[in-house]
Every structure is written in C-alpha cells, then in structure tokens.
Amino acid sequence: MFESLSAFGYQLGHLASLYHFSILIAAVMMGIAFGALPGLTATLGVALLTTVTFTLNLSVETSMIALMGVYVGAIYGGCHPAVLLNIPGTAAGAATALEGYPLCQQGRGGEAIATATVMSFAGTVFGVLAMLLMVPMLAKLAVLFQSAEYFLLAMFGVLICGSLTAPDTPIKGWMAGLIGLLLATIGMDPTHGYQRFTFGNSELVSGIKPIPVILGAFAVPQIMRAMMRPTNGAGHNAPEITRLAPQWSVLKRNIGNAIRSGILGVGVGSIPGVGEDIAAWLSYDTAKKASKTPEDFGKGSMEGLIAAETANNACIGGALVPLLTLGVPGSPPAMMLLGALMLNNVIPGPRLATEHPEFIPQMAAILLWASLVMLILGFLLSRVSVKILRIPTAFLMPTVALFSVIGAYAFDNSLWDVGFMLGFGIVAFLMDEQGYPVAPLVIGLILGPMAEENFRRALIDSGGSLMPFLTRPICLVFLALTIGALALQWHRRQRA
Amino acid sequence: MLKGKSLRRADIVSGVVFVLLGIAVLIGASRMPIGGTYGGVDNPWYASPAAFPFLIGGLFVLCGLSVATNGIRKVGIAGLLGACKRAAQRSVREPTNRRGLSVLGLLCGYYILLRARWLGEPALSYTVSSSLFLVCFALLFFRPQNRFPKLWQSGAIVLGALAIAALVAHIFSERLGVPLP
C-alpha cells in the first residue's frame, strides 16, 4: 500500500508538466463539450480521440492523458444540459435531470451546476482512492487465476453486463453478449490458424476490429435517434446561469450521502461493462430511500443531485480496477480504453503490475489531475456550455458522422471498416429498438478472445473434463455470483 | 424502443432470427475440423476451433427459443403476419421513421460517394464528398421557424460545410498523415 502511494506521488509530480497539462486541458474541454451536447457520449468521445492518438502515434502516457481527460470531462459534462434543459447530455446525466431541472426552474440552476461540479470532482477523487486501495488487492488475487477462472470471469462480465443493461428482459442482454462473443470468433482461430466464418473474405481473416464496431454501436444509433425526434434541427435555448456557487452548508449536510454514493459508484464501476448511468440511478434510488425527505425528490432535491453526480464520476475509478487488474473493462468508455491500450501493446491483466509497474499509479495520477482540471474548467465553462447547446443538431450530427467515418477509416486506411461501421450501426439501432442493449455486445466482442482461449486451454489441461470449472474455489465464487445475480435480476424483472 | 404488444410481436421475429442464426453457427461449426489431428497436432473436440462456436450456437438457439416463445405466449401467433404487414405500411408513413430512413439514406449515400471510382481514381475527392454529405444533411433537417432555410442561410450552410470538410481533410491528411479515401 505504502509503495503504491509513493509511486502515485511520484507520478503526480512527473505528470505535472506544461505539455501534459495542455493536452489534459484540451481533452477535458473536449469531454465537457461531448458530455454537454445531447446525443454525444463519453464512449464516442473516447473512441474518436483514440483514432487521433493512434494516428498521431502518441506515447501510451500521452494517449492515456488525452483519453482519461475526455472520459472524465464527458461524464461530468452531461449535467449541464440535464440541469439547464432537462435533456441529459449522456445516459449518466439522466438522474441528474430529475432534480437539476426543477432546481433550475426555481432559479437555482447556477447552484445546481456548481454543486454537480464539486460533487463530480469529489466522486472522481473517491474513485482514485478506491482504485489505489483495490488494485493491489485484486492484483494479488488475479495471480491465482488460471484458465478456468478467466473463462468464467469473461462469461460473468458478459452475462452481468447483459442482465443489468437490458431495458426489457435480461435474456435479451445475454443474447447481445452472445452476438459479441460470436463476432469475436470470426477470423483466424488463435490456436490452429483455421479460418472461421470468413466466407472467403480476406478482410475478415484478421477478425472484427473493435474500433469500427464501437463507433458504429455508439455513433450511428445516436445520430439516428437525435434526428428522428420531431425537431426543426435548431439548437437549444438554455437559460442564462446566475450565481455559480454551491451552498457549503448543503454540501456539509450531504457528506454521508456523498460517501455512500461514492462507494456505490465504485462498486457498480467494478462490475464488468456496467457503466456510469446505472451507478447514478442506483445511487439516486438509494439516496431517496435513505432520505428523511423523500417527498422532495423529483421537485429539486440537492440530495438526489449529489447522489447521482458523485456516483457517476466515482464509477470511473471503479471501472478502471477490473480493467487494469483483470483486463476486463468496467464500463463502455473503459472498453475503448482497453482497445487503446492494446493498440499501444499494453495488455492489462495480472501481469501489468510486473511488466509495467509504473502504469497503474500513473493512471490514478492522470485521473486525479483530470478531475482537478474538470473542477476548474467546470466552473469556467459553465456559461460557455449554454452557448454550445445552441449549436443546431442539423449541423452537429452530420459533423459527428463525418468524424466517425474518418475515425473508422483512419485506423487501417480501409473503407471496408467504414462500411462495417455503418452496417453495424444500423444493426445496433435495430437491436436497440427491439430492446437488445449494445454494451454487452461490445464487451462480448472484447472479452471473446479471452473467453475462448481460456475455455479451450482449461479443457486441454483437464483432458476434456469440465470439473475444473465446478471445483476450483475461485470458479465456484464466480459461478455462485453469476447464478445468484442472474436469479435475483430475473426474479426482480418477473415481479416488475 | 418499441413498447407493449409491438415489442412482443417483434420478439417473435427476433427470436426466430436468433434461432436460425444459432442453427447456422452450429452447421458452420460442424464443418470445422473436429477430432483426429489438424496441422499435425491432436485435435480432440475440446481443443478444436469448433468448440466455442458450438457453445455459442447452442446458447443462441436456447435464448432465441425463449424470446420467441415469450412473444408467442404474450400476443399469440395468430395475426402476427397481418400485424407485421400493417406495421411495415404504417412505419414508412410515420414522420419519425421517414426521418430515420433519410438519415440512413444519407449515410449510405456518403459511403457510396467515398467508394465511387472513375477510371481507377476516386470519382469525387474526400472534401467534395464530405461537403455534399454535410450540405444535404443540413438542408434536409434544418428548418428555422419550421420553414425552409432562406437563400443566405443555404449559402452559409454550403460555405460552412466546405470549411468543415476542408478542415477535417487538412487535419487528417496533412497533420495526421492519413491518406484520405
């Protein structure tokens, strides 16, 4: 623990340079703009910037500064349109809108945004602390993992993500995850070199690339949904912000609420593939149940706003814990971070701490600096965000499409990837319309190779026996967690 | 997302599609090398390239059946075809869906423009294709005061689109060294 703290301290000093800060400031600004603009998401922001960092051939350190800056900025930025327009910029800001907009109508919009800014900062710092505490413990546990454990971990991630993100029945989330796992089998088999499901197409031999899939899954449906709404294509006229400052007495009263929300945010973040939106809703719901004045919720309760904003930003640190220790991303933007790390030949997992000992404290330090920059820019840019919201959607959405197309193309200079991105985007839109969530599909695609490789290796080691999956202690824990969580989820849905 | 009975009717269709997809995966997996040796290496079922696709294909069939039967239980199979036909007719007439189809058309059109070749060379440069896409998109959806944009606004849209496309082209080709399509 002491070692990791001292490494963290060293990294904080190492990153405090003009070069790093200029990149961080630009990235956080871009993130806030992405979060503030309805229809653009944190995942899309991280995906598009990954293209730029990869094309510019930036170092891992610089790439991570840029990507983490966008991630933190975008998760926070969603609170601006949520408070000012009752339109959450991101899914994570939806719970904020419930309380933020009534506060804005009461003339307390500036106070709501300032409170959300401070609590987003507090939530991110909470996430950093949790990360520093949890990563060494989980890294020690991860060393005990063998093939059977990795296979069950990947399946646990896909199934739980499917279960928690499905808007209809959990089975649809699992099916989305299965599509991802199926897509991961396309191309050259890693063990035998046998070509599977390529249909003679040379573009498919190297497999499905995650970047066009992520861009397609998160950009095309967003663009379509934004334009399908009855609108004249103009921007939104947000009210001007007055008195941009939190009430310290309110913050002081909510310390317990903030700590509980931080814990919930980190906890949800560490569940594979489950993102900031679920953290915010869970925390909001818990705060309502624990509140002495639950009747105020929905009418402009600072308690609800604080719970949602603390949790969605604390979730970032939580999402990095399984990513760095097990190679399993904790949220959709973290999936993109995993892709970016792999592009830079950094493979997250149990060996990361030994192969790149500086990397984990560096990520924690980047997250802390990003949260500080977010806090400052959050206050400085609040009035500017009102103007950003005025950009007409009829101009904004085609520009996003333009960047998505060039982003998908730039990875391999291939128009095939662009076609795949568009085709997959249409499939993602249709799936979404029918209640099949897209996040489990992406996590299935990313975890597919890990699941398959370890499934086969475990069976080879046991001579074809399934017993290791059912007898090894960690496997039993995963099985119990998976079955318990799925049964609970199923029971709740059936009752609802 | 669809709601109520429409969603359950759609479930029957998507469930059947997934069952068929699962069967296709199982057939594809059965054609992969299983047993004996492959490339001079022992290839028992559990080590073969077909093992994982078999698992996924089987799960697809099970889950697809579950979704489809749930749909059938809720709305029944009778009237499904008629409902699908009515939904298809209605869906094209609905303004929301027309807007969605327009976006799809624009995106596909943009892709075709980027792919189009004339005597082995791109038919239109990236900047021109992208400007055309931006202009068409904006003119189709931008309705200030619910009217068509005025002449000066249309002119501004064309100039803005050209500027954005040229800027993106410059950044990616000159600064990032990406050979544009």
Our CA-based measurement puts residue A178 at a distance from the nearest CA of chain B, in whole angstroms, of 7
Q: Indicate yes or no: pTM above 0.90.
A: no
Q: Which residue of B has its CA nearest to A232?
A: B143
CA distance linking residue B168 with residue B127, whole number of Å: 8
Half-sphere exposure of A217 (CA within 13 A, CB side): 26
Q: For testing the chain B interface, which of A53, A178, A183, A431 should be mutated: the one with the most B CBs within 10 Å?
A: A178
Residues in chain B, pLDDT under 70: 1, 39, 41, 78-92, 145
Q: For A134-148, write each residue's pLDDT tens digit.
A: 888 888 888 888 889
Q: Give the confidence band of A54 by pLDDT, cuts at 50, 70, 90.
A: confident
A433/B142 CB distance under 8 A: no
Q: Does B168 touch chain A (CB under 8 A)?
A: yes
Half-sphere exposure of A317 (CA within 13 A, CB side): 36
Q: Which of B7, B47, B67 sits opposite A459 (nearest CB)?
A: B47
Most confident of A123-127, A269-273, A390-394, A475-479: A123-127
B46/A464 CB distance under 8 A: yes
pLDDT score of B27: 95
Q: Chain B partners of A401 at a C-beta cutoff of 8 Å? A: 107, 110, 133, 137
Instruction: Let me know if A175 is exposed, middle or buried by CB neighbors in 10 A (0-12, 13-18, 19+).
Output: buried
> Which residue has 């190779």 as its token pair?
A449
B138/A394 CB distance under 8 A: yes
Q: For A353-398, write each residue's pLDDT tens digit.
A: 778 888 889 999 999 999 999 999 999 988 777 777 778 888 888 9
B1/A185 CB distance under 8 A: no
Q: Chain A partners of B58 at a C-beta cutoff of 8 Å? A: none
Q: Chain A partners of B164 at a C-beta cutoff of 8 Å? A: 399, 402
Q: Which residue of A has its CA nearest to B51?
A: A456
- Residues 58-87 of chain B with CB under 8 A from chain A are 59-60, 63-64, 66-67, 70
CA distance linking residue A114 with residue A156, whole number of Å: 38
B176/A52 CB distance under 8 A: yes
Q: Does B148 touch chain A (CB under 8 A)?
A: no
Instruction: Let me know if B158 is exposed, middle or buried by CB neighbors in 10 A (0-12, 13-18, 19+).
Output: middle
pLDDT score of B9: 79
pLDDT score of A212: 87
Q: For testing the chain A interface, which of B46, B55, B59 should be mutated: the one with the most A CBs within 10 Å?
A: B46
pLDDT score of A349: 81
The runs of H, that is alpha helices, within A237-331 are: 248-253, 255-269, 276-290, 302-326
Q: Residue B76: count other Cβ atoms within 10 Å of its Cβ.
A: 12
B97/A392 CB distance under 8 A: no
Q: Chain A partners of B66 at a C-beta cutoff of 8 Å? A: 171
CA distance linking residue A245 with residue A378, whole number of Å: 11
Q: Which of A41, A35, A197 is nearest to A116 (CA)?
A: A35
Q: Does B153 touch chain A (CB under 8 A)?
A: no
**Mean pLDDT for chain A?**
87
Looking at this protein, which amino acid is placed at residue A283?
S
Our CA-based measurement puts residue B151 at a distance from the nearest CA of chain A, in whole angstroms, of 17
Q: Are A392 and A44 in contact (CB under 8 A)?
A: no
Residue, of B170 and A234, whose pLDDT is higher: B170
B52/A456 CB distance under 8 A: yes
Eight-class DSSP state of B45: G
Q: Which residue of B has its CA nearest to A404?
A: B107
Q: For testing the chain A interface, which of B141, B167, B170, B171 should be mutated: the one with the most A CBs within 10 Å?
A: B141
The runs of H, that is alpha helices, within B42-174 are: 51-75, 80-93, 95-115, 126-141, 151-170
Q: Does B106 touch chain A (CB under 8 A)?
A: yes
Eight-class DSSP state of A59: -
User: Count of residues for chain B?
Assistant: 181
pLDDT score of A176: 93
Answer yes or no: is pLDDT of A234 > 70. no
Answer yes or no: is pLDDT of A309 > 90. yes
Half-sphere exposure of A309 (CA within 13 A, CB side): 34
Q: Give the confidence band of A67 by pLDDT, cuts at 50, 70, 90.
A: very high
CB pairs < 8 Å spanning A and B: 179
- Dihedral sign for Cα atoms in the order A263, A266, A269, A270: negative
Phi-psi region of B154 (alpha: psi -120 to 50; beta: other; left: phi over 0): alpha
Q: What is the SS3 assignment for B151?
A: helix
B160/A432 CB distance under 8 A: no
Give the percent of chain A with pLDDT over 90.
Answer: 32
Q: Chain A partners of B133 at a C-beta cutoff of 8 Å? A: 398, 401-402
Of A101-115, A436-450, B33-47, B83-97, the range with the lowest mean pLDDT is B83-97
Q: Does B18 touch chain A (CB under 8 A)?
A: yes
> Which residue has 């103009």 as its token pair?
A234
Answer yes or no: is pLDDT of A423 > 90. yes
> Which residue has 């190679």 as its token pair?
A327
CA distance linking residue A118 with residue B33, whole number of Å: 59
Most confident of A64-78, A352-366, A439-453, B38-52: A64-78
CA distance linking residue A217 with residue A372, whole number of Å: 31
Q: Which of A184, A213, A208, A171 is nearest to A332 (CA)?
A: A213
Looking at this protein, which amino acid is placed at residue A176?
A
Q: Does B124 touch chain A (CB under 8 A)?
A: no
Q: For B50-81, write each residue's pLDDT tens digit.
A: 989 999 999 999 999 999 998 888 777 766 66
pLDDT score of A314: 94
A232/B100 CB distance under 8 A: no
